[in-house]
Every structure is written in structure tokens, then in C-alpha cells.
């Protein structure tokens, strides 16, 4: 996760407008500073907003007599899009509903014909504010000790990935990873060394996830969770084995371990294909069940 408080990459702006000249003006205004996405109707705009997660939306107040305020309300209700700032554009003069737009969730309102300087100033102002909010949100989602995402982030991200997988019809795999005999490790080497051990394990797990879409989190205590979007069970098993082997290869001394004398992990694996009738907790429960089996079968193994 990027915790940089500066805009280093180009932000993405979604323009929802059926007027080609307006889109051309927006594109020309931000051609050097942003990536521009376009939609000529509200349905397409909603789909792009949900799938592409733009940094800001420029929304025409009315398209073919349809009301953009309903789109604002719909975007505010969806977890994937509720934090995206929306600037409503209107060419209706005295008939414009500025107050209604703000009440519906828009952060700003601008009249057409678009003034390039005003448009640029208002968009850049909202992008700065969003960048600051994103930075604070990122900090609140990071585990202070291991510096990987925390349980709060896990819950939010699994819910997002579940909805995306339901729409696009692909599977999700989940790994639940538990450090074997960690209490006895703390008792033997002390809590400070235990903290260093957690940092080392978190770093090693992160380094051995090779896809940017795979997500490692600290689930709690000595337990970690890995979300693998778009991953069938056989591929997830390969990832699980790679992570399990990578921890063993560290050969972190654990003299009080009842098995091999160095630090090991147990892993539970689960894979589901989400649909409208299933929920994320079912995947968690299945992975937890397999983790429990790994532990009761002697630990230091993968069960899936």
C-alpha cells in the first residue's frame, strides 16, 4: 500500500457527459496532469466508477432528461465508490439544482460553458483533499508493528473483492496462516524478540507474493491472512506451499517448538466462487476450518 502523501502518479478523472465538446475540453485541460475516462450515459458511468475507481468524477447534471442526482445518491451508497469526490456540471442556468447536488453527495458544482481556469482549480483542490484523506485512511489500515495491512483493511478489501468476483464470475482463494507454538516462542525468547519474529514473518510472506493483486494482512496476534483474487484452488495451493516453505527456509531458532526446533507455520486454504447467495464469512470459516485441521494434524503443514 502506498503511504506517500504526495500525488506521484497521474490521478484518474471520469467524465460522465454526452456532450463531445465538453469531453474534449476536459481532456485538453488535464491532458498533462491526469488520465481521463469517459462515459456518455449514467449506466456506463456507474460501471466505470465501480470497476476503475477513479480519483474524481465530473458528472453532467442531466443526460437525455435523466437526473444525475440519482447517480450521485447511488454512488454514495456503494462502498466501492462512496469516497470518490463528484463535481456536478450544469448548463441549465437558473434551473440548475446546486443545493440538490450537494445534498446528494456532490462535493462541488460548476456551470457550463466550462471556464478552464475555474475547472482546473476546483478539480485540483478536490484531488488534493482526496489525496490527504487517502493518506490518513492508509495509515489507519496499516498494522503498526508489522507495517502490513491490518484486520480492518482485510475486512474491507475482502468485501470489495467478493463483490467484484460476483460480478465478473471468478473464484477467490484465502489463506489463513498461523505461527506454530508462538506463545512458547514468546515465553522462551521474550516479547521483544517475539515482535521481531512477527516483523520477519510478515516481511517474508509479503516478499513471496508475486502478484500485485494478492493481499497479505495481519489478521490478529500471530495469524496472517492472504486474499488471492481470481485464483483457483490448485494455484492457491502452490502459493500456500511457497509461503510455507519460505518461512521454514528462514530457520528462525525455536528451541521450544515440539517438532523441528525452528519456526514453522500452519496454513488453511479455501477457495470459493462467489455469487449472490454466498457471503465472505463463508470463505473465512472454510479457511479457518482447514487451518484448525493443519494444527490438529501436527502443525507445520498446508491443508486445503
**What confidence score (pLDDT) does residue 124 get?**
96
pLDDT of res. 237? 98
Please name the residues in contact with 57: beta carbons below 8 A apart, sequence gap of 6 or more.
13, 14, 15, 16, 45, 49, 75, 84, 85, 86, 87
What's the pLDDT score for residue 94?
A: 63
Low-confidence ranges of the chain (pLDDT < 70): 1-8, 93-95
Q: Which residues are catalytic?
A: 222
Helices assigned H by DSSP within the chain: 20-29, 42-52, 68-77, 98-103, 116-140, 151-168, 182-189, 191-207, 233-250, 280-296
Concatenated DSSP letters for 134-156? HHHHHHHTB-TTT-SB-HHHHHH
Please give the pLDDT value at position 8: 46
* Cβ-defined contacts of 190-195 (< 8 Å, 24+): 195/145
Structural domains of the chain ordered from first start: 12-140 (3.40.50.2300), 151-303 (3.30.70.270)
Pairing status of strand 108-111 against strand 86-90: parallel
Q: What is the pTM of this model?
A: 0.73
Residue 265, helix vs strand vs coil:
strand
Amino acid at each position: 500500500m502506498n503511504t506517500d502523501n504526495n500525488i506521484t502518479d497521474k490521478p484518474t478523472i471520469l467524465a460522465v457527459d454526452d456532450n463531445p465538446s465538453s469531453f474534449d475540453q476536459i481532456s485538453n485541460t488535464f491532458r498533462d496532469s491526469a488520465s481521463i475516462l469517459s462515459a456518455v450515459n449514467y449506466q456506463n458511468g456507474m460501471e466505470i466508477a465501480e470497476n476503475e475507481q477513479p480519483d474524481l468524477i465530473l458528472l453532467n447534471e442531466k443526460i437525455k432528461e435523466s437526473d444525475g442526482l440519482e447517480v450521485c445518491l447511488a454512488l454514495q451508497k456503494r462502498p466501492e465508490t462512496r469516497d470518490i469526490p463528484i463535481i456536478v456540471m450544469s448548463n441549465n442556468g437558473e434551473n440548475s439544482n446546486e443545493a440538490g447536488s450537494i445534498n446528494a453527495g456532490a462535493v462541488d458544482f460548476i456551470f457550463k460553458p466550462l471556464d478552464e481556469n475555474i475547472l482546473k482549480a476546483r478539480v485540483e483542490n478536490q484531488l488534493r483533499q482526496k489525496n490527504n484523506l487517502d493518506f490518513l485512511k492508509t495509515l489507519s489500515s496499516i498494522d503498526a508493528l508489522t507495517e502490513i495491512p491490518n484486520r480492518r483493511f482485510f475486512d474491507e478489501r475482502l468485501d470489495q473483492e467478493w463483490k467484484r468476483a460476483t460480478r465478473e464470475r471468478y473464484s477467490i482463494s484465502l489463506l489463513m496462516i498461523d505461527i506454530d507454538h508462538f506463545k512458547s516462542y514468546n515465553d522462551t525468547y521474550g516479547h521483544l524478540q517475539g515482535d521481531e519474529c512477527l516483523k520477519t514473518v510478515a516481511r517474508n510472506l509479503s516478499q513471496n507474493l508475486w502478484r500485485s493483486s494478492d493481499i497479505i494482512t495481519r489478521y490478529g496476534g500471530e495469524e496472517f491472512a492472504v486474499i488471492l483474487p481470481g485464483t483457483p484452488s490448485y494455484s492457491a495451493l502452490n502459493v500456500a506451499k511457497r509461503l510455507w516453505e519460505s518461512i521454514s527456509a528462514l530457520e528462525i531458532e525455536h528451541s521450544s517448538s515440539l517438532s523441528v526446533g525452528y519456526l514453522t507455520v500452519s496454513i488453511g486454504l479455501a477457495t470459493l466462487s462467489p455469487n449472490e447467495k454466498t457471503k465472505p464469512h463463508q470463505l473465512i470459516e472454510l479457511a479457518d476450518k482447514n487451518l484448525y485441521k493443519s494444527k490438529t494434524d501436527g502443525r507445520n503443514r498446508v491443508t486445503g
